[in-house]
Structure 1
Amino acid sequence: MIKVGDELPDVTLQEYSEVEGNGCSIGPNPVKVREAAKGKTIALFAVPGAFTPTCSAKHVPSYLQNYDELKKAGVDEVWCVSVNDAHVMGAWARDQKSGGKVRMLADGSADFAKATGLTLDLTGRGMGVRMQRSSMLVKDGKVASVNVEAPGKFEVSDGATMLAQARG
């Protein structure tokens, strides 16, 4: 499993970007993780699935509520990673009104989840391999803190915990 001091994996995620117009998007666009993280402080959080109850009602909102304070604490970008396709992540971004604050990054083949060792097998529930609910503070591509939730929990990967870590 990824740990403090490790570099983010050298994988490519996918992202939709909003453009002018009613719900129109461009993409998916590749996001090379190491390249995108270079020289930045990133609050990265991972969720098992877009539109799932805890993820939609608590996880994303906790980062949106703490966004301004995270920026003041030196966070350049907030990333949400999920094993979903870019189309779903784009629709979820619109639903959560996260545009301009949280980058919704799709890990469609679970490459990021596998490379970090944070996979979650939900095959028995019809969801396949997903990413464990977690968060990381990343500085210049290296993990400065990592928080992994116990199964079924939402206690250590929220926006308030990340804010405390960013303030250090």
Structure 2
Amino acid sequence: MIQPGDVIPAIPVKHVTAAGVTDETADKVLGGGRVVFFAVPGAFTPTCHANHLPGFVDNASKFSAAGVDRIVCGATNDHHVLKAWAEATGALGSIEFLSDGNGALAKAMGLDKDLSKAGMGTRFSRLAMIIDNGRVERLFLQEEPGVTTSGAPSVLMALETARSK
């Protein structure tokens, strides 16, 4: 599993922004400055849709004030679904999206989760990261159900604590 100090791998992904969809690699999308990356098991799924994404959208200005250059949401959904989800939630513009349609990035980072029993296949585990210039600074892996460890309040608290030192 990827750990603090590790670099983001150069795995092909689709990058969904307000400007459109581009083919990129994860190290390019998540590199270049201070990035908060959070991953969800699936767009439009109940917990991801109602509890995880909204916290980052609602607090985008607080993340910026804490020195974050960009917020990126990752999921193993295809880029069409991520774009539709971003538009439906009003997130497009304040949050960028990373489509890992085949789960290659999730697997490469050791952050994949087999949800085949639920008919969902391989997905990202629920998580968040603080990434500084392509290197993982902090990892917030959600072990229990719900959105606590990996939610916006936890990540903001870690950023604020780091700034006050």
TM interval, shorter chain, is over 0.9
Code of the aligned partner of 2:99 = A
Quote the offset at 1:51 in angstroms.
0.2
Code of the aligned partner of 1:78 = I
Corresponding residue number in structure 2 for 1:13: 13
Please give the alpha-carbon distance, in whole angstroms, between the structure 2 residues aligned to 1:16 and 1:154: 23
**Larger CA deviation: 78-87 vs 30-39:** 30-39
Percent of pairs with identical residues: 34
Corresponding residue number in structure 2 for 1:48: 41
Please give the alpha-carbon distance, in whole angstroms, between the structure 2 residues aligned to 1:8 and 1:148: 16
User: Contact conserved, 1:15 with 1:89, CA < 8 A, in 2?
Assistant: no
Code of the aligned partner of 2:112 = T
1:143 to 118, 131, 136: 136
User: Structure 2 vs 1, CA of residues 17 and 63 (structure 1 numbering), >3 Å: closer, same or farther?
Assistant: closer
1:98-123 CA distance string (max 9 Å, x none): 11111121100101100110111010
Give the unaligned 5+ runs of structure 1. Answer: 20-25
SS of residue in 2 equivalent to 1:48: coil
Please give the alpha-carbon distance, in whole angstroms, between the structure 2 residues aligned to 1:93 and 1:5: 30
> Size of the alignment, in residue pairs?
161
User: Contact conserved, 1:15 with 1:104, CA < 8 A, in 2?
Assistant: yes
User: Contact conserved, 1:15 with 1:90, CA < 8 A, in 2?
Assistant: no
Code of the aligned partner of 2:7 = E
1:131-162 CA distance string (max 9 Å, x none): 10000000010001001111423210011111
1:21-49 CA distance string (max 9 Å, x none): xxxxx43x112221233331000000000
Corresponding residue number in structure 2 for 1:30: 23
User: Contact conserved, 2:18 with 2:93, CA < 8 A, in 1?
Assistant: no
2:153 to 141, 144, 160: 160
**2:110 equivalent to 1:123:** no
Corresponding residue number in structure 1 for 2:60: 67
Please give the alpha-carbon distance, in whole angstroms, between the structure 2 residues aligned to 1:49 and 1:36: 19
TM-score, with normalisation over the residues of structure 1? Answer: 0.91
Give the unaligned 5+ runs of structure 2. Answer: none
Code of the aligned partner of 1:109 = N
TM-score, with normalisation over the residues of structure 2? Answer: 0.92
User: Contact conserved, 2:17 with 2:96, CA < 8 A, in 1?
Assistant: no
**2:126 equivalent to 1:108:** no
Code of the aligned partner of 1:6 = D
Quote the offset at 1:16 in angstroms.
3.5
